[in-house]
Chain A
Amino acid sequence: MMFVYKLTLRQLSGRWRLLITLLLSALPVTMGVIWRLIEGDARPDHEFEDFALNGMLAASIIPLVSLAIASAAFSNEIEDRTLANLTLSPIPRWKIVVPKLLGALTVGGFFMVISAFVTSYIAYSGDMTTSLAVAAGAAVEVALYSSVFVLVGLMTNKAIGFGLLYVFLWEGLLAGFVSGVRFLSIRHYSVTIVNGLDDRVFTEGEHLSFAVALVASAAVFVIFLALSIQRLRRMDVP
């Protein structure tokens, strides 16, 4: 599995991909710095939480970065036809899918978790509990989106298009306005987990409990991982 993992890291670490990810991950950090410069030692209010953490990081940057990286884990190999190098090997399919997903998680998660941690560390005046809670929420969100987008990358060569529709229509629009959709929203699982990990600063969500968010997150991750393995078993590899 280590060969596939290392190969995936190398494939997903293209200069432009890393540069764009770095720039995107710097945006919330910049917001944290601006907040600190303007407000001095004042603790951030809900406006900062809604705009920088929920709106910018959780609703836009993490899903977009996860989409760009995780969907490419397989779709690039399908496009340049190198996937057959792996599938024509005497290794079970899960040993291809798991390191691919882990590779995507490593590349995307690295930037997103650091961005989340640094942003909240700056904004919340070095509050370690809050910073770790936000970082953990970011890690969960990257993991869930990655497991979804790895499957999308296996299913279609228009993964970015489908991913964008999903992120902005389902996660952004519908989950924002239709309360029932939040039970099936990765962003809301992540926000609920952050709220649950640090209820001193963040208020627990109205629709989901911490426990439900944890269980649902685990279920989404496992289900989409299993679907990806199944897809790789059944698909015609170019």
Chain B
Amino acid sequence: MSSSNSRAARSNGNVAPVIQVERVSRWFGNVVSVSDVSFEIRPGITGLLGPNGAGKTTLLRMITGLAEVSVGSISVFDQQVRNNPDIYSRIGVMSEHETVYQFMKGRDFVKMMGQLRGVSNIDAAADKAINLVDLAEASLRSMGTYSRGMRQRMRLAATIVHEPDILILDEPLNGADPRQRVQFQKLLLQLADEGKTIVLSSHILEEVEQLADTVLLIVNGKLAASGDFHAIRAALDERPYHVRVLCDSPRDLASALVKLESVDAVYVDPDGAIVVLSRNVRDLQIELPRLAQATSARVWRVEPLDDSLESVFGYLVER
């Protein structure tokens, strides 16, 4: 099953929500970290997307009960999480920090985490979890000798050793190399197909796009958008892009560009570069070489001016 097919199969709005966040806010002194956020999370993979400092980690910490909410309520399996330790037998949490004991061997770490979570056949469970993250060979080494990616994988093994129903992963792909990313993504998709609820935070759009059924977009502590990834993507695609074009005859090319339907505005900046505002960058990509040829302009460089994730998020918040 391809990832998009399995994603479609998992998407089921009729399934009861597993996590419910209602009008939650959290502030630290005068700083509001999370502001009046409400959403529900169902089985499958939910991506929590937002730029660094948006409030994703604070939100996840409140969902896991590590942090108190200032206002609002959070329930998991219809129970409160805060001061309800029993619920952690059903939740696996992997924070963004490297919460490992450097002196401990990888296998001992996974075993300890399993024992703390009440796993009975701990040796078999630890072996299974370690094999899933493909770290059996390194499992008898102390974690101080691991690379960052290896520590992340061993932490994931420790997170899933008790086979939780919910996995909450804060920036889990940080430090992973491309091969580990693919392996990590496969594992998460497999777990989601088994009916697990996975909440995954990231500040990288593509990372979430490849995995998540549903996306929650957090910007400046607020829920900027939520829903199916394609809806979010469509919203992103609607925004106007600024494209900078460097060429030897900017006025001629600018006059030609402004006639295009896909172009909203064109101006030549003081440096002699053309700045194009367009809502259809794909059309612009096709038309620009043709117009350059027609006007005998030599194009040296074409670059997006606002393709950073922050500007994308900024656009969505301002809409």
Contacts and interface: CB of A to CB of B under 8 A. Distances in A.
Interface of A: 3-4, 7, 10-11, 80-82, 84-93, 233-234, 236-238
Nearest to B116: A89
A238 to B, nearest CB: 8
B95 A3 contact: no
B66 A10 contact: no
A92 B91 CA distance: 16
Interface in B166-183: none
B83 A88 contact: no
Given A81-B99, A84-B93, A237 B85 contact: no
A185 to B, nearest CB: 34
A230 B64 CA distance: 19
B117 A236 contact: no
B99 to A, nearest CB: 5
A82 B87 contact: no
Contacts of A88: 64-66, 88, 91, 93
A91 B99 contact: no
A191 to B, nearest CB: 38
**8 interchain residue pairs of minimum CB distance:** A89-B116, A90-B89, A236-B67, A81-B97, A90-B88, A237-B66, A82-B99, A90-B85
Q: Which of A88, A90, A234 has the most CB of B within 10 A?
A: A88
Given A85-B116, A86-B116, A90-B89, 9 more contacts: A3-B112, A11-B101, A81-B99, A82-B100, A82-B101, A88-B64, A88-B88, A89-B85, A236-B67
Contacts of A7: 101, 112
A236 B62 CA distance: 9
B67 A84 contact: no
A84 B99 contact: yes
Nearest to B103: A10
Contacts of B61: 236
Nearest to B92: A88
A84 B89 CA distance: 14
